[in-house]
Every structure is written in structure tokens, then in C-alpha cells.
Amino acid sequence: MSIRLRVARVIAETADAVSLELVAEGPRPAYRPGQFLTLRIPSDRTGSVARSYSLSSAPHEDGPLKVTVKRTASGYASNWLCDNAVEGMEFDSLPPAGVFTPDSLDDDLLLLAAGSGITPVLSIAKSALAQGRGHCTLIYANRDERSVIFAAELARLAAAHPDRLTVLHWLETVQGLPSARQLKALLAPWADRAVFVCGPAPFMDAVESAAAALGVDRVHSERFLSLTGDPFAPVPAADAGREDAASVTVDIDGDTHEFGWPRETVLLDVLLARGVEAPYSCREGACSACVCRVSDGEVKLLRNDVLEKEDLADGYVLACQTIPVTDTVRITYD
């Protein structure tokens, strides 16, 4: 299920961030604004590591896919890419994935980012401005002016859409770290909008606290955790013929599949072993790429680092962490 991507260009965005323009061997993979790629990065210790990077390009734009990577102090993969990625280098990647994307590009959006969290937020903003009718307010926090990724592109977008895009910069060297109290006052004029936030965990926690104080029902947050396993590894065969196996019916891409579901095997492994091209990325319950919904029956979620209580109440689960409880289960991806 992986795809092969070649680096067409490396762009120095700031002193500690680069963008990689990537070209697929075949047709450019389809994706939605706000989604990410999971790349296999070479490692002297383990052979390779898998890391997810958001797409800063937008689906409507012609040209290659583009991911943007910022160094982190202890980030092996980010430092390796910033130091070693060159034109012509090739990477294995999983298809674009993720649910950090608006339901409608016509909605009014409140977008918040810090540091490299601007990457998926920029993709969403460009898509909304080019293909939607709504208004966007972007609040972007950085250490100082030199660390603002896409500063020129954001200025061009704001100049091209003065009635639809407002960009507010927050600089730590001038204003200090943004607190929940300060963010509450800043967010208040747009608290009725759909909210999307990406950045370091303390920043996202402060945004979520500020939004809750304003009575915002839902904040869409994109959180990435370093993967410990290998999502590129072959999927183990699932023994669907066992007498104690449950039965699962899966609706995906307009087709319906029925399988035996061994009770100790996660749903994603069952589907992939049967040749069903179900979406996934980390296979660790850390990214939401494999999210689906239980429409009938009961399941158990082994691990969940991304779904919120509202998602769980609506029946959403992670296929890579879901095992059956009842004898029959129906799942939908549609």
C-alpha cells in the first residue's frame, strides 16, 4: 500500500525548517487539506523509522506534494531530513491520511498554529480561500520574526484576500508565551467559528482551555506522537476461520465486505489481510488515519491517543486498535 516519492526540490523556509517537494512515480495521490504523509526515514540503528509530516501544499494546486519539516532538539527524523534531504532522494510513504480537515470549505474558520503547526493549517487556509466562500482568521505563534515559516506566502495570501483572510502573528520575544487567559480574549470575536489548531502540546492545551471557557463546542486538534513500531511492516495473516471468531460487515468506498473477525486481532489487520484497502498510517492509535464508525454491535478500543469523548460517543473508533466484543459488528468508513 506504500507509494514511492522522489524529492524534486528542497526549500529552506527558515534557519531550522525545510520544505520537501515530492513527486510520485505514478499519478499524484489524492488528498484533502490538512492531511499528512507518513515517510520511512533511514536510520543507522534500526534500519528505518516512520514519521508523519503534514502537507503544506493544497489539493487544488498544480505541482508536487509538499511537506514541511522543522528541527526539534531530540527529533531524529526531523534533524536527518533537514541535514540530508536532497533533490533526487526517494522515500517510501503511506498514502495521505488524517481527519484534520474541514467538513466544508465554505465554513468560516478560526485557525491557530504555533511553529511548524502552520503546515496543515496553511493547506486548509489556501483551500478555503481558493475553493470556498467562507472567511478565515489565522493566529500564528512563533518565537520571533525569523522563525515564522511561510511569512511571505501568508503575506501574499492576506493581500490577495483582504476581505476573507486575517492573519495575526504572536511573537514570544514581544508578547511572551500565549496563555489560556490571553488566548480567550484573542479568540472571543470568532468563537462561533469552526476551530482548528496545530502546534506544540502546551500551545494546543492553552487553545483548548481558552475555547472551552468561551463555550466552543469542539476544537479540531492535530497531535502527532513519535511512532515506536513500523507501519510499513507486512500485516500478519488473520485466522478468520477460528470457531470463536466474530463476524464483521464493513462498508467502505461503496462496497460491502463480510469476514470472520478473530477476537484478538485488530480490525485493520483483518481488512488488510483480506485485501481491503482500508486507510491507515501509524497502526499505533496515535494518528486517527484509520478512523471508522461502529454502526451496529460493540467493540473494544485497545489504545486511543486522538479520539475525543464526543467522537467515541458518536461511535467512532480506530481500526488499528479495535477488537470485537459482540458476535456480530457492522463498521462503516463511508
- Could you read off the pLDDT tens digit of each residue along the chain, which spans 334 residues? 689 999 999 999 999 999 999 999 888 999 999 999 999 999 877 778 889 999 999 999 988 999 999 998 888 899 999 999 999 999 999 989 888 999 999 999 999 999 999 999 999 999 999 999 999 999 999 999 999 999 999 999 999 999 999 999 999 999 999 999 999 999 999 999 999 999 999 999 999 999 999 999 889 998 776 666 778 877 666 555 556 799 999 999 999 999 999 999 999 999 998 989 898 888 888 778 899 999 999 999 999 888 888 889 999 999 999 999 999 999 999 7
CATH number, domain 109-222: 3.40.50.80
> Where do the domains of the chain lie?
3-97, 109-222, 246-332
Would you tell me which CATH number, out of the four given (3.40.50.300, 2.60.40.1120, 3.90.1150.10, 3.10.20.30), belongs to the domain 246-332?
3.10.20.30
Q: Which residues on neighbouring strands pair with residue 97, listed in sequence order?
A: 36
How many residues belong to the chain?
334
What is the third-level CATH fold of 3-97? Answer: Elongation Factor Tu (Ef-tu); domain 3 (2.40.30)
CB 241 within 8 A of CB 104: no
Q: What is the reported pTM?
A: 0.85
C-alpha–C-alpha distance, residues 304 and 267, integer Å: 14
C-alpha–C-alpha distance, residues 69 and 224, integer Å: 13
DSSP 3-state percent helix, strand, coil across the chain (nearest 5): 25, 35, 40
